[in-house]
Amino acid sequence: LPVETSMQDHNYPRIFLDNLKVLKSNSSLCDTIVTNGLIRINAHKAVLAASSPYFQCLYCGSIEFSDVDTVINDLDSDSLSIVIEYIYSGKVELSMDNIFSILSAADFLQLSSLRSYCEGFLCTNIVLDNCISIYLWAESMNLYDLTQKAKHYILDNFDLVVMESEFLEMSISKLMKILESPWQSINDQALFEAILRWINHKPQERKMSAGHCFKFLDLINIPSEVLLTCTDAGSGLDSATITLLKNAVVLKNELSYDGKEISGRVERFNRMEEALLCIGGESDGDILCSVECLAFRYDGWKYHIPCLIQSDVNTRMKVLPPMHTRRSQFAVTGNGFQVFVIGGSNAIEDLRSGECYDVMNNEWHEIASMPEALVGGAAALLNGMLYVTGGRNGSRPTNKLYVYDPRSDSWSQRQPMIHHRAHHGLVSLNGMIYAMGGVGGLEEGEQEIMNSVERYDFMTNSWLELPSMQKQRSHAGFVTCSSKIYALAGLSSSQLLDCVEIYDPVMNHWRSVGSIGDFRSNFGFTVSNGRIYCVGGMNDNTMLNSVQKYNTVTHRWHAVYGMQTKRCGAGAATVLIPVKNELS
């Protein structure tokens, strides 16, 4: 009998692209010329349409496209040449000189992969002399995650950023967005002097804005002699601002005599410090709603959280409130200031409900319930929206994708995943959502642990199959760190895993990087200060309170303080705690 077999030539895509590029270079079989009026590039409509939804809509729309020229006036010659070259080769050279024009072109032509790579390039190249331009540009392009990352960099380094030339070019509206943040790494005097430099850079345009800017300062903290230098008629400031500064000097003198406190003073934090939370889960048969915290100065996990860390006095503490609902096996994600928990089980019923923890107010509030109850779902944040995939509704995994909009407190449904999966991983990276592993199966009661990986593009509302992980795994840890995706430990069939593998989205492949030292599944996981934390979980039939952290540079594991309570099926998240100290 003939032997049946199948094969896949992994060199075929590269050979195919190389041959297409040769055809383009020789103008063979080309049926269009892409032009912006300055340059003309021979191309194939089928190739362009297969690569870009923009071209696909143009060539395959209801109105027949019969022109020889494909005119794109919105792109400059360099970026147009580069993106057409990318379409035919999958290669691009990025630099700070061309990144903005290429990302604009990728966004215009809806080249999602190129857009993702460009966004990742900018995320890893934010420095003092470009952070403001990246922030302003990302905001104008509605790149929410990149905007927030650049803004956080500015706030973390504001004492140095104000010395850069970019700072002097900020508009009043953009500067106000920075000043209104309660978190800035700069003292009041340095900020006062920086605002004066900003005003004097374009005095005619900006002198009337001084009072608006100074309202974000605690003028009481600025020496009187510094304030008085700006109160004479030649300072260029308007009379209302001069009066404001004089009143501050008078008030400072009164306070120095009687020690009175002033209401309405501005409290600004100098930086933010990360802390870990472990939320809910199961412990010895009980479903929990409690939350434990591990902060930098703690000698162990505690049931309270720092609400303000001060270097010269005792840190202010608040008791961590429990969730409104006991839950285990839920989806969890956060952005440092908020933590979302969705679905799960309370041992009596599967849950549709969701909650959000507000770090600054130290409180949980309920959000709109999902359309259906899900256990073992996974969550990720992208562009300010909450994405939840998979999970079990009953005993069958689902492939559904739900998106929660915090602004309207409402859920909507998007294109489902290619695979049904529960107890899987979901992460966001460079403008894309990645779903990995988990328990699959289309039939009732079917349990198949998977290694498949797929990526969601919110621009096209579509999923793309990616190279599979080396190991099948569910109930594992999945995080992003240093622009890569990590898969840690978990369960494979009936076997516990201790291995770690990394996915590089640029190289598009997984590689193994060793072991975490302990076999562990069904644990909480999060990233803090460049380290990956694995919290609690199960080891065989033993419930754990132990915690490990992983150094992504040395690939070494270290033990951390154990939790007070053993937990499995819990969620972990990293939150930001304000720090206030005296800056020189």
Residue 276 lies in a domain: yes
- Give the domain CATH number at 28: 3.30.710.10
- Point out which residues pair with 525 in neighbouring strands: 534
Residue 134 lies in a domain: no
Considering only 11-25, 192-206, 274-288, 435-449, which range has the smallest mean pLDDT? 435-449
Rounded mean pLDDT, 48-55: 95
Q: What distance in Å separates the CA atoms of residue 72 and residue 88, rounded to the nearest whole number?
A: 18
Rounded (10°) angle between helices 77-89 and 99-109? 60
Greater confidence (411 vs 205) lies with 411
pLDDT at 3 over 80: no
Greater confidence (123 vs 217) lies with 123
281 — phi, psi (to 5°)? 95, -170
Q: What is the pLDDT of residues 69-100, one digit of tens each?
A: 999 999 999 999 999 999 999 999 999 999 99
**% of the chain beyond a pLDDT of 70:** 94
Local confidence band at 518 (pLDDT 50, 70, 90 cut-offs): confident
pLDDT of residue 541: 85
Q: What is the pLDDT of residues 447-459, one digit of tens each?
A: 899 999 999 999 9
Residue 78 lies in a domain: yes
Q: What is the pLDDT of residues 314-344, one digit of tens each?
A: 667 899 999 999 999 999 999 999 999 999 9
Q: What distance in Å separates the CA atoms of residue 434 and residue 467, rounded to the nearest whole number?
A: 12
pLDDT at 122 over 60: yes
- Point out which residues pair with 496 in neighbouring strands: 491
Q: What distance in Å separates the CA atoms of residue 542 and residue 264, rounded to the nearest whole number?
A: 53
**Residue numbers of the domain that contains 61:** 11-125
203 — phi, psi (to 5°)? -60, -40
SS3 557: strand
SS3 558: strand
pLDDT of residue 494: 74
CB 474 within 8 A of CB 523: no
Rounded mean pLDDT, 107-116: 94
Residue 248 lies in a domain: no
**% of the chain beyond a pLDDT of 90:** 72
pLDDT of residue 492: 92
pLDDT at 581 over 50: yes
Residue 309 lies in a domain: yes
CB atoms within 10 A of CB 371: 12
pLDDT at 513 over 50: yes
pLDDT of residue 584: 44
Residue reference for tokens 């969620």: 571
Rounded mean pLDDT, 564-575: 98
- Give the domain CATH number at 370: 2.120.10.80
pLDDT of residue 233: 66
Q: What is the pLDDT of residues 232-246, one digit of tens each?
A: 766 778 888 888 888
CB 519 within 8 A of CB 489: yes
Residue 570 lies in a domain: yes
pLDDT at 575 over 50: yes
CB 39 within 8 A of CB 77: yes
What is the side-by-side strand order in the sheet with 410-414? 378-382, 385-389, 401-405, 410-414
pLDDT of residue 264: 47
Neighbour-count burial of 442, counting CB atoms closer than 10 A to its CB (0-12 exposed, 13-18 middle, 19+ buried): exposed
Q: End of a domain among 125, 160, 186?
A: 125
Greater confidence (469 vs 298) lies with 469
Local confidence band at 265 (pLDDT 50, 70, 90 cut-offs): low
- Mean pLDDT (the chain, rounded): 91
pLDDT of residue 214: 87
302 — phi, psi (to 5°)? -135, 165
Q: What distance in Å separates the CA atoms of residue 577 and residue 307, rounded to the nearest whole number?
A: 6
Residue 418 lies in a domain: yes
Which H, E and C letters describe 496-508, residue by residue? EEEEEEEEECCCC
Q: End of a domain among 125, 153, 188?
A: 125
pLDDT at 263 over 50: no
pLDDT at 63 over 90: no
Rounded mean pLDDT, 531-554: 93
Greater confidence (9 vs 233) lies with 9
Q: What distance in Å separates the CA atoms of residue 219 and residue 181, rounded to the nearest whole number?
A: 17
pLDDT at 262 over 50: no
Local confidence band at 484 (pLDDT 50, 70, 90 cut-offs): very high
Rounded mean pLDDT, 417-441: 96
pTM: 0.90
User: Dmax over Cα atoms in the chain, in whole Å?
Assistant: 103
Q: What is the pLDDT of residues 148-170, one digit of tens each?
A: 999 999 999 999 999 999 999 99
* HSE-CB for 247 with a 13 A CA cutoff: 11
Q: What is the pLDDT of residues 356-399, one digit of tens each?
A: 999 989 999 999 999 999 999 999 999 999 999 999 988 889 99
Considering only 128-142, 217-231, 250-264, 389-403, which range has the smallest mean pLDDT? 250-264
Local confidence band at 555 (pLDDT 50, 70, 90 cut-offs): confident
Residue 338 lies in a domain: yes
Number of structural domains found in the chain: 2
Rounded mean pLDDT, 173-187: 90
Q: End of a domain among 125, 150, 173?
A: 125
